[in-house]
Amino acid sequence: MIGNMRKTTKYAQQFYMKAFCINLQGHYVFPIGIVMAVLFFSCAQEPVVPNILFIATDDLNTDLGCYGNSQVITPNIDKLAQMGVRFDNAYCQFPLCGPSRASIMTGLRPNTTKFLGNRDSIRKLKPDVETMGQFFQKKGYYVGRVGKIYHYNNPSAIGTDGHDDTLSWHERFNPKGIDKIHEDRIIRFPGGTTGRKGGLGISMAYWDPVSEDSEHTDGMVADRAVEMIERNKDQPFFIAAGFFNPHCPYVAPKKYFDLYPLEDIAMPSLDEAKEDLEDVPAMAMTRHGRLRWPYYFDGITMDEARRCKQAYYASVSFIDAQVGKLIAALENNNLLENTIIVFWSDHGYFLGEKGLWYKAKNFERSVKVPLIISGYGVDQKNKVIKDPVELIDLFPTLVQGSGNTINKELEGSSLIPFLKNTSYTWDKPAVSQVFYPDRQGYSIRTGRWRYTEWMGGEAGRELYDHENDPEEITNLANHPEYQYIVNDLSAQLEPYSIYY
């Protein structure tokens, strides 16, 4: 209906302009009645109803060109940042796929939904919750998904609905490419074994086939998203394109691996990493109570880890190319000015820093995510926001950005003022948490500090000064001169901390 109103108003204006302009000696004259009619149609036009393109990636950290990593080749993501606002300090609420994505799509913190693990179901835990997709359906949008938005076991659930929420979408598409079909060709470490399926969701493994983008699942995700854009261009749409890369196993066409010669891939020193962790509580490094260091599997060599880092970067550049397809689709259909574009990842990722791999930690590297907003309603171009923001802020941002009223139940805050005002700032912190039955911790990030408590402080505390120690090398929590900061941040964290 809204799309029809858009076209009706536009065509009415064109009709009056063409039918009643009178050419007198080469000059156009507008009778006053016609001028008034044109003005009526212009004034009667409904406010713009923006489209939304919601681009998700899986396990993507901020190793991107626009975030300052000149080695990683991401021209299309960089273009998005130049077109709009890049949030330099954006944080997930839980550095694990399922809880993080459920939090984003509901605008609620994990402790509110009780969604604390990858096997949880949002409809079982909170059956009456209104998700982002449901909200925009009610507002008359076409709402469709392709790929991973809610949690999928990656790669085992590729080609299925995974743990998706059926009520969130009008349409759902689950492509399956050669990365899934030919899992037996993936090389996994330690040892470089091939031919064994299963267990790839937590693995250090890669494959670099000579192939075309569209043979891969994520290439198919981009192609389908382009089709969805073109098919729905005459009505308001909310299209969610969820890429599976760079989640392990790291699979991409060989041409993307060729961008990163193996000899150029640097790995952090394990000796320095071990020294770095001497003042860190043991719980900060463990998963399910088991210490796995360095990396994640016994027997991984430095060369094998380097190969995985190369493959991760290749996967990132592969995703960047797919993002380019989506931008081009908007440009080719004259939708760029009328579409809010959001690019995000569900959490960060370790690639050998501190001798760690993967996520599920409360360190900066694990909870910090890329977040870029461009397109409609974004008055600031190539702007960088340093204030901490949270992924739960996306739901209220899109509600307000589309001209609607924010539901008071949403626990995030709208980012629209950052998109409009060059001088806007806030002092709201970002809160993240890690939950396993034997390992629970909460972390708060302010403009300068990251403070973390494990088991309410009984299993240790961490304090890092990001003004002077962005890599979180020195834990200041037990230094007497910083106790007033520990006390203040602990008090700020207390309302969010629930231990199960």
**Which pLDDT band holds residue 197 (cuts at 50, 70, 90)?**
confident
Q: Where are the alpha helices (DSSP H) in 57-167?
A: 75-83, 97-106, 110-113, 122-125, 132-138
The whole-number average pLDDT for the span 423-430 is: 96
pLDDT tops 80 at residue 15: no
What is the identity of the amino acid at 237? F
Is the CA virtual torsion 301, 305, 308, 314 positive or negative? negative
pLDDT of residue 45: 57
**Which pLDDT band holds residue 288 (cuts at 50, 70, 90)?**
low
User: Which residue do the tokens 């790291």 mark?
Assistant: 250
User: Which is it for strands 439-445 and 430-436: parallel, antiparallel or unpaired?
Assistant: antiparallel
pTM, entire model: 0.91
The per-residue pLDDT of the chain, averaged, comes to: 91
- Which of 217, 205, 325, 256 lies closest to 72 in space, CA to CA? 256
The whole-number average pLDDT for the span 279-289 is: 82
Percent of the chain with pLDDT over 70: 90
CATH of segment(s) 51-428 = 3.40.720.10
Asked if the peptide bond before residue 127 counts as cis, ω within 30 degrees of 0, the response is no
For the chain, which residues make up each domain, given as ranges? 2-44, 51-428, 432-496
User: Which is it for strands 339-345 and 357-358: parallel, antiparallel or unpaired?
Assistant: unpaired
Q: What's the burial of 417, exposed, middle or buried (CB within 10 Å: 0-12/13-18/19+)?
A: middle
- Which of 132, 128, 162, 126 lies closest to 146 in space, CA to CA? 162
Sequence-ordered list of residues with C-beta below 8 angstroms from that of 491, at least 6 positions apart, any chain? none
Query: What is the distance between the alpha carbons of residues 440 and 453, in angstroms, rounded to a whole number?
Result: 9
Which of 8-12, 364-368, 381-385, 411-415 has the weakest average pLDDT?
Answer: 8-12
- Which of 123, 113, 160 lies closest to 395 in space, CA to CA? 113
The whole-number average pLDDT for the span 15-35 is: 39
Domain 432-496: which CATH number of 1.20.80, 3.30.1120, 3.40.630, 3.40.50: 3.30.1120
Express each pLDDT in 214-224 by its tens digit.
999 999 999 99
The whole-number average pLDDT for the span 56-83 is: 98
The whole-number average pLDDT for the span 194-219 is: 94
pLDDT tops 90 at residue 31: no
- Which of 6, 94, 97 lies closest to 47 in space, CA to CA? 6
Query: For the CA atoms of 428, 383, 57, 323, what is the dihedral angle to 10 degrees?
Result: 160
Percent of the chain with pLDDT over 90: 85
pLDDT tops 60 at residue 34: no
Which residues are known to be catalytic? 97, 151
Q: What's the burial of 415, exposed, middle or buried (CB within 10 Å: 0-12/13-18/19+)?
A: buried
Which of 233-247, 289-303, 342-356, 485-499 has the weakest average pLDDT?
Answer: 289-303
Express each pLDDT in 89-102 by its tens digit.
999 999 999 999 99
pLDDT tops 70 at residue 460: yes
Q: What's the burial of 286, exposed, middle or buried (CB within 10 Å: 0-12/13-18/19+)?
A: middle
